[in-house]
C-alpha cells in the first residue's frame, strides 16, 4: 500500500502532520443579481490541517458551496470574492488566472456531487485520469497509465483494468463516484474539496464511499473540506465542523463539541431537526436501539462496546419488542395487493419492463405503511400503480374495496377510485402548476368533483390552508413566490381536498432541508392523526419512515423482501438486506456511528463468507 | 511509510495534538428567524406578471414595441400619416423621377407617384398578410403540435409525418408553384397569400409546440392533476398549454417578420399581390426599372420593410429573454 503515496508532495512524515494546509481569512462572496450585490458568504475564517477533515454543514442557501468553489475560482462570472485564501502559505485569491489554474487539480482537487455529469461521457474513465495526470506532471503516457491504474486500485474498484477502459455510463453510481475520487487524487492534492460527495447515492453505496474516504484520509494525509447538509455523514467523517447559516459561520468546533455541546441556537435546532433512525416513537420507550437490534439479529460482537453492555442493550431491545403492541388492523383494507406485478408498458421498440413482481401488501384504515428501498427497487412504481397511473400486469389490486387490476385506463371506475386517493409528490416545485395561483391548484379537484362551487369553494380552500398552517391570503400567490416547504404544504392541502381514504406520499420530504422536513413531517403526522386517512409513504430514508410508519415494507429489486410492524423491522430485522440497509444509515452522533460502522463491517464480512 | 506508522484513526488523535477552539457566533448578529417567509406586503405576482416587469425595463423591448405600435397605427389609419391618398389621386407623369418637394418629402416614382404616400399606404397589405398568416399558423401548427406532443403514439406518428412532408417543401418555392394554380392565379388577394403561406408555414410552429408540450407533459403537476380526476383533454388545456406557450409566442413573433418578407418577395416576383394593390413588394418591383437613375423609390419601401421585420424579430428576442430565463445569454 505504501507505494501509492511514495511520490508527490502529499507525502508528509509524522513530524509535520497537522501543518496548516488551507487558511481562509475574511472570505466574502457576493453574487450580482439584477445589478445588486447579494451576499452568499460573509467574512468566513477557518483553517484546515493536513490529515484533518473539516465539515462545512449548512442548509440550502447557507453559502457552503459558493464559499468553497470560491477557493478555486470556480464561481460564475457574476460573482465577487474578497478576503484571503492561503494554500500552504501561498495566496490563491487576487492572482492571475494561470496561477489558480496550476493549483486546480494539482494541489487542490474537487469531488462533485453528481459523478455522472462531472465525468465526460465521451471519454473512458482511464483516459480522463491520464489526462489529469499528464496535465500537471511531465510523465510519459505509459507512466500516467500506470499511475491511473494504481489510483483506480486505491479507490477499491474491483477490477481496475476494466474500469480503466470503461465509459462513465458503464459503471454504477458508486463506481463512478470512486472513479471521480481516483481522478481527483491522481495528482496527490494537498487539499481535497468534497462537495456533497454522497448525496446522489443510495445509503448502502454512501456507506461504502464514506468508508473509502476514511481509509484514504488515513493513507494520503491530505486536508479534506467536506461540504454537506447531512449530519449523519458529518458524524461519520468529520474531525472539525463549521456550521453555516445564511452566509455566516455560526459555530465551529470539534465533532464532539458540536454534537454534544452545541451552543448556538441554530446548531441546536439543526441537530434537533435531524431524524434519528430509532427515535421516531413517542417518548423514550419508543426509542429503538438499532445497533443492539442488529447485533442481536446477527449475533455480532463489537470491540467498541463492552460485551455485557451490549448484552444488556440486546435484552432491553428484546423486551421492548415483546411489549410492542401489534399494529392497528381493523376494518376493510384500503389498499390490498395480492401477488401484484407491475410493468412499464412497452414504448416503440423498448420492451416492457417489469418493475415490481409478486408484491403482497395490505393497508388498513388509519394505518401508515412505509415503503422503503433504494433507487430502482420499485417503491415509487407501487405508489403510482395504487393511484392507477400504471397498469397492473398480474395479480390483484384492490383500492378502497374496488378491484382496479383490470380497470380500463382512464375508465370510469378508475375515475371513481381516484376520488378517494390523494397523492403528494416528491418535488414541490414541479408538482404545482406554475401558472396557477395556489388557491386554484387546491380548489381544482373539489371543483371538478362537484363538491363545492363559488363562495363555498373559497371557504373550503381557506380551511385547507388553515389545516396546513399557511396564511389564507397565500391563496392568490403563485408557486414561485413560495419556499420549498411552503409549496409542499400546498401539495398536501391539494391531496387532502377531497378527504381521501388513502394518501400516497412519494418521497414528500426528500427535496427539503432538514429543518423544513422536520416541520412538514410533524404537520403530516398531526393531519394523519386528526383526519385518520391511511397512508402509503414511499421513501428511501429509513429515519423518516421511522417517525411516521406503523408498518414498514422493505423493497429490493422489485420485490418486497421483508415487512412487519415498525418494532419488528427495527428491533429484529431478519433479512440480510434489511440488516445491511439499517446498518448503512449513518447516525448523527460520532460515538454511536462508530459502533454502527463496526457492526456494518462485521455484517459485510459475514455476508462475504 | 509502512502501514504500522499510519495513524489508524485520526479522530482520537486530533484533539490531543492541539487545542481546537469552540467558536460560537454572537447570537445577536445571527438571529434565528423564519427563513422561508414570503413578503406579504407585495402583491401576488404571476409568471406573466414577472415577465412583464422584466420586459418593461428592457430597451430592446421598448424600442421594438414602439416601432410595432407605429407600424400598426400606420396600417390601420394610413390617412392620418399622409395627406395624399395614392389610390384616388392619380400620379402625375410630369413629376416622373422628381426629387423631394414640399408636401412630397421622399420624391416621386418613375410614374410620378408620391413615394411617401405609397410607402404609408402599402403598410397595410404587408402587415395584414404577416399578422393573419401568423394567426393561421398558430391555429393549425399549435393544435396539431399540441395533439401530437400530448397524445403521442400513433397520433404523433401520423401528424409528425405530415409535418415532415410540409417541412421539406421550401416556403417560397412552394408558394411560387401554388400561385401558378388557376384557382389562385384568378384570385390574387391578400387572403390567397395568407392561405398559401399558412399551408407552408405551419410545420415550424407545430414542431415547437410539440417539443414544448412533451417537455411539460410529464411534469408532476400534470400527473397530479390526472390523479386528482382532471380529464386528459382538460389537463392539456388547463395545465399543459399555459406552460408551453412561452416558446410558441417567441417563435410566432419572429416568424411574423419572415412572413412579411415572404409576402414582399412574392409580390416582387410578380406572383404575390396584383400590381393594383399597394404593397412594399410591388413598389420595390416597379422601382427596379429606374434603379440606376433614381434609386430612392426602391430604397424607401425597402427601409420600411426592414424596420418592420427587424422590430418583430427584436420583439421576439426580448420576449424570449423575459419568458424563458434559461435561454438568456450570459
Q: Tell me: the pLDDT tens digits for A541-583?
A: 888 888 888 889 999 988 899 988 888 888 888 888 888 888 8
The model's pTM is 0.80
- CA A369 to CA A503: how far, in whole Å? 10
- CA B325 to CA B311: how far, in whole Å? 21
Domain boundaries, chain B: 127-277
Closest-CA residue of chain B to A433: B221
Choose the weakest-confidence range: A60-64, A92-96, A164-168, B64-68.
A92-96
Q: Which of B306, B320, B311 is nearest to B72 (CA)?
A: B311
Q: Inform me whether the pLDDT recorded for A11 exceeds 50.
A: no
φ, ψ of residue A361 in degrees (nearest 5): -160, 135
Q: Within 10 Å of residue A488's Cβ, how many Cβ atoms?
A: 30
User: Which of A433, A443, A536 is the best substitution to test chain B (most B C-beta atoms within 10 A)?
Assistant: A433
Query: Which residue from B23, B36, B228 is facing A486, i.e. has the nearest CB?
Result: B36
Which residues in chain A have Cβ-Cβ distances shorter than 8 Å to B38?
A: 474, 477, 481-483, 486
Confidence of residue A328 (pLDDT cuts 50, 70, 90): low
φ, ψ of residue A23 in degrees (nearest 5): -130, 120
Region A286-294 average pLDDT? 73
Confidence of residue A112 (pLDDT cuts 50, 70, 90): confident
Q: Which of A574, A583, A539 is nearest to A368 (CA)?
A: A539
Confidence of residue B179 (pLDDT cuts 50, 70, 90): confident
Closest-CA residue of chain A to B154: A348
Look at the block and give the residue holding cell 412572413. Answer: B259
Q: Within 10 Å of residue A515's Cβ, how many Cβ atoms?
A: 17
- What superfamily does domain B127-277 belong to in CATH? MetI-like (1.10.3720.10)
ipTM over 0.85: no
- Give me the pLDDT at residue A493, please: 92
| Alpha-helical regions (H) of A40-106 | 64-71, 97-103
- Give me the pLDDT at residue B33, please: 57
Q: Inform me whether the pLDDT recorded for A291 exceeds 90.
A: no
Region B146-169 average pLDDT? 90
Q: Which of A258, A313, A357 is nearest to A56 (CA)?
A: A258
Q: Inform me whether the pLDDT recorded for B13 exceeds 60.
A: no
- Give me the pLDDT at residue A371, please: 92
Q: Which of A546, A481, A581 is nearest to A204 (CA)?
A: A581
Strands A240-245 and A223-228: unpaired
Residues A470/A489, Cβ–Cβ less than 8 Å: yes
Residues A436/A538, Cβ–Cβ less than 8 Å: no
Mean pLDDT in chain B? 82
Our CA-based measurement puts residue B234 at a distance from the nearest CA of chain A, in whole angstroms, of 10
The DSSP letter of residue B173 is H
Query: Taking CB atoms and an 8 Å limit, are A264 and B27 in contact across chains?
Result: yes
- CA A348 to CA B318: how far, in whole Å? 39
- CA A182 to CA A153: how far, in whole Å? 9
Strands A392-399 and A108-111: unpaired
- Give me the pLDDT at residue A536, please: 92
Confidence of residue B208 (pLDDT cuts 50, 70, 90): very high
Region A181-207 average pLDDT? 86
Tens-digit pLDDT profile for residues A52-103: 899 999 888 788 888 888 888 888 888 888 888 888 888 888 767 777 777 7
- Give me the pLDDT at residue B207, please: 93
Q: DSSP strand E in A183-286: where?
A: 191-195, 223-228, 240-245, 248-254
Distances (CA, A) of B30 to A37, A67, B38: 20, 18, 20
Cross-strand partners of A81: A29
- Give me the pLDDT at residue B321, please: 81
Distances (CA, A) of B124 to A204, A344, B79: 70, 55, 12
- Give me the pLDDT at residue B81, please: 85
Query: Taking CB atoms and an 8 Å limit, are A419 and B229 in contact across chains?
Result: yes
Residues 6+ apart with CB under 8 A from B187: none
Query: Which residue from A14, A245, A387 is facing B5, i.e. has the nearest CB?
Result: A14
- Give me the pLDDT at residue A311, please: 77
Q: Inform me whether the pLDDT recorded for A332 exceeds 90.
A: no
- Give me the pLDDT at residue B194, please: 92
Q: Which of A242, A212, A261 is nearest to A589 (CA)?
A: A261
Q: Inform me whether the pLDDT recorded for B140 exceeds 90.
A: yes
Q: Inform me whether the pLDDT recorded for B177 exceeds 50.
A: yes
Regarding predicted confidence, which is higher, A95 or B80? Answer: B80
Q: Which of A75, A67, A87 is nearest to A19 (CA)?
A: A87
Q: Inform me whether the pLDDT recorded for A283 exceeds 60.
A: no
Query: Taking CB atoms and an 8 Å limit, are A250 and B224 in contact across chains?
Result: no
Regarding predicted confidence, which is higher, A465 or B9? Answer: A465
The helix or strand, by DSSP H or E, that contains position A551, with its residue range, turns out to be: strand A551-556
Regarding predicted confidence, which is higher, B303 or A62? Answer: B303
Our CA-based measurement puts residue B1 at a distance from the nearest CA of chain A, in whole angstroms, of 6
- Give me the pLDDT at residue A7, please: 39
- Give me the pLDDT at residue A13, please: 35
φ, ψ of residue B120 in degrees (nearest 5): -65, -50
Amino acid at each position: 500500500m505504501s507505494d501509492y503515496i511514495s511520490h508527490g508532495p502529499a507525502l508528509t512524515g509524522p513530524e509535520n502532520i497537522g501543518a496548516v494546509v488551507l487558511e481562509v481569512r475574511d472570505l466574502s462572496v457576493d453574487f450580482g443579481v439584477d445589478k445588486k450585490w447579494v451576499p452568499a458568504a460573509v467574512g468566513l475564517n477557518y483553517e484546515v490541517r493536513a490529515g484533518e477533515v473539516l465539515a462545512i454543514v449548512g442548509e440550502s442557501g447557507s453559502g457552503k458551496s459558493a464559499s468553497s468553489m470560491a477557493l478555486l475560482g470556480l464561481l460564475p462570472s457574476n460573482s465577487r470574492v474578497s478576503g484571503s485564501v492561503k494554500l500552504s502559505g501561498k495566496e490563491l485569491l487576487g492572482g492571475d488566472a494561470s496561477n489558480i489554474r496550476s493549483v486546480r487539480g494539482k494541489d487542490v482537487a474537487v469531488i462533485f456531487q453528481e459523478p455522472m455529469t462531472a465525468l465526460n461521457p465521451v471519454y473512458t474513465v482511464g483516459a480522463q485520469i491520464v489526462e489529469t495526470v499528464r496535465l500537471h506532471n511531465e510523465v510519459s503516457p505509459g507512466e500516467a497509465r500506470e499511475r491511473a491504474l494504481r489510483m483506480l486500485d486505491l479507490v477499491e474498484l474491483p477490477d481496475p483494468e476494466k474500469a480503466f477502459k470503461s465509459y462513465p455510463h458503464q459503471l454504477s453510481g458508486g463506481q463512478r463516484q470512486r472513479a471521480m475520487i481516483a481522478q481527483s487524487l491522481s495528482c496527490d492534492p494537498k487539499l481535497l474539496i468534497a462537495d456533497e460527495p454522497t448525496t446522489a447515492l443510495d445509503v448502502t453505496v454512501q456507506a461504502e464511499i464514506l468508508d473509502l474516504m476514511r481509509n484514504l484520509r488515513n493513507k494520503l494525509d491530505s486536508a479534506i473540506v467536506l461540504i454537506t447538509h447531512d449530519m449523519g455523514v458529518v458524524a461519520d467523517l468529520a474531525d472539525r465542523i463549521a456550521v453555516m447559516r445564511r452566509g455566516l459561520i455560526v459555530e465551529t468546533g470539534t465533532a464532539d463539541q458540536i454534537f454534544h455541546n452545541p451552543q448556538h441556537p441554530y446548531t441546536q435546532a439543526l441537530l434537533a431537526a435531524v431524524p434519528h433512525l430509532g427515535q421516531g416513537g413517542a417518548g423514550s420507550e419508543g426509542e429503538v436501539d438499532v445497533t443492539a437490534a442488529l447485533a442481536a439479529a446477527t449475533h455480532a460482537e463489537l470491540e467498541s462496546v463492552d460485551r455485557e453492555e451490549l448484552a444488556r442493550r440486546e435484552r432491553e431491545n428484546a423486551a421492548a419488542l415483546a411489549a410492542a403492541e401489534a399494529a392497528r388492523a381493523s376494518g376493510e383494507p384500503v389498499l390490498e395487493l395480492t401477488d401484484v406485478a407491475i410493468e412499464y408498458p412497452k414504448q416503440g421498440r423498448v420492451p416492457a419492463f417489469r418493475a415490481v413482481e409478486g408484491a403482497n401488501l395490505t393497508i388498513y384504515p388509519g394505518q401508515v405503511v412505509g415503503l422503503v428501498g433504494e433507487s430502482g427497487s420499485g417503491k415509487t412504481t407501487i405508489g403510482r400503480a395504487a393511484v392507477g397511473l400504471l397498469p397492473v400486469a398480474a395479480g390483484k389490486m384492490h383500492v378502497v374495496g374496488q378491484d382496479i387490476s383490470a380497470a380500463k385506463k382512464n375508465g370510469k371506475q378508475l375515475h371513481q377510485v381516484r376520488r378517494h386517493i390523494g397523492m403528494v409528490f416528491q418535488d414541490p416545485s414541479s408538482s404545482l402548476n406554475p401558472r396557477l395561483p395556489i388557491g386554484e391548484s387546491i380548489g381544482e379537484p373539489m371543483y371538478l368533483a362537484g363538491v363545492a362551487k363559488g363562495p363555498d369553494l373559497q371557504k373550503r380552500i381557506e380551511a385547507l390552508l388553515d389545516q396546513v398552517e399557511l396564511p389564507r391570503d397565500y391563496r392568490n400567490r403563485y408557486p414561485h413566490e413560495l419556499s420549498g416547504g411552503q409549496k409542499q404544504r400546498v401539495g398536501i392541502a391539494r391531496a387532502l381536498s377531497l378527504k381521501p381514504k388513502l394518501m400516497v406520499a412519494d418521497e414528500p420530504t426528500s427535496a427539503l432541508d432538514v429543518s423544513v422536513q422536520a416541520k412538514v413531517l410533524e404537520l403530516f403526522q398531526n393531519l394523519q392523526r386528526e383526519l385518520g386517512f391511511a397512508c402509503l409513504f414511499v421513501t428511501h430514508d429509513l429515519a423518516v419512515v421511522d417517525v411516521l410508519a406503523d408498518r414498514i415494507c422493505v423493497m429490493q429489486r422489485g420485490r418486497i423482501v421483508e415487512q412487519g410492524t415498525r418494532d419488528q423491522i427495527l428491533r429484529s430485522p431478519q433479512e440480510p438486506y434489511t440488516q445491511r440497509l439499517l446498518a448503512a444509515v449513518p447516525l448523527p452522533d460520532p460515538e454511536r456511528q462508530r459502533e454502527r460502522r463496526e457492526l456494518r463491517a462485521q455484517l459485510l464480512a459475514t455476508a462475504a463468507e | 511509510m509502512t502501514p504500522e506508522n499510519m495513524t489508524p484513526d485520526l479522530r482520537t488523535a486530533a484533539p490531543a495534538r492541539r487545542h481546537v477552539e469552540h467558536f460560537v457566533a454572537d447570537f445577536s448578529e445571527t438571529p434565528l428567524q423564519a427563513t422561508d417567509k414570503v413578503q406579504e406586503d407585495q402583491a401576488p405576482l404571476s409568471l406573466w406578471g414577472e415577465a412583464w416587469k422584466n420586459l418593461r425595463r428592457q430597451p430592446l423591448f421598448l424600442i421594438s414595441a414602439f416601432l410595432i405600435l407605429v407600424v400598426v397605427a400606420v396600417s390601420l389609419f394610413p390617412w392620418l400619416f399622409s395627406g395624399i391618398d395614392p389610390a384616388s389621386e392619380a400620379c402625375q407623369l410630369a413629376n416622373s423621377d422628381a426629387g423631394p418637394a414640399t408636401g412630397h418629402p421622399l420624391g416621386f416614382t418613375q410614374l410620378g407617384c408620391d413615394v411617401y404616400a405609397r410607402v404609408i399606404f402599402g403598410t397595410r397589405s404587408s402587415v395584414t398578410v404577416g399578422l393573419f398568416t401568423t394567426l393561421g399558423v398558430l391555429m393549425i401548427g399549435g393544435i396539431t403540435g399540441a395533439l401530437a406532443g400530448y397524445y403521442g403514439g400513433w397520433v404523433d406518428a401520423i401528424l409528425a409525418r405530415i409535418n415532415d412532408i410540409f417541412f421539406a417543401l421550401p416556403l417560397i418555392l412552394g408558394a411560387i408553384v401554388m400561385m401558378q394554380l388557376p384557382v389562385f392565379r384568378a384570385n390574387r388577394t391578400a387572403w390567397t397569400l395568407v392561405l398559401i403561406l399558412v399551408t407552408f408555414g405551419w410545420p415550424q410552429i407545430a414542431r415547437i409546440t410539440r417539443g414544448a408540450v412533451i417537455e411539460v407533459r410529464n411534469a408532476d403537476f400534470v400527473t397530479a392533476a390526472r390523479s386528482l380526476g382532471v380529464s386528459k383533454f382538460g389537463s392539456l388545456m388547463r395545465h399543459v398549454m399555459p406552460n408551453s406557450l412561452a416558446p410558441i409566442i417567441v417563435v410566432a413573433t419572429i416568424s411574423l417578420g419572415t412572413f412579411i418578407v415572404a409576402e414582399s418577395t412574392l409580390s416582387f416576383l410578380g406572383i404575390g399581390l396584383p400590381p393594383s394593390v399597394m404593397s412594399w413588394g410591388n413598389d420595390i418591383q416597379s422601382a427596379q426599372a429606374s434603379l440606376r437613375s433614381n434609386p430612392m423609390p426602391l430604397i424607401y419601401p425597402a427601409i420600411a420593410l426592414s424596420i418592420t421585420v427587424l422590430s418583430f424579430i427584436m420583439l421576439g428576442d426580448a420576449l424570449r429573454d423575459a419568458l424563458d430565463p434559461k435561454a438568456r445569454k450570459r
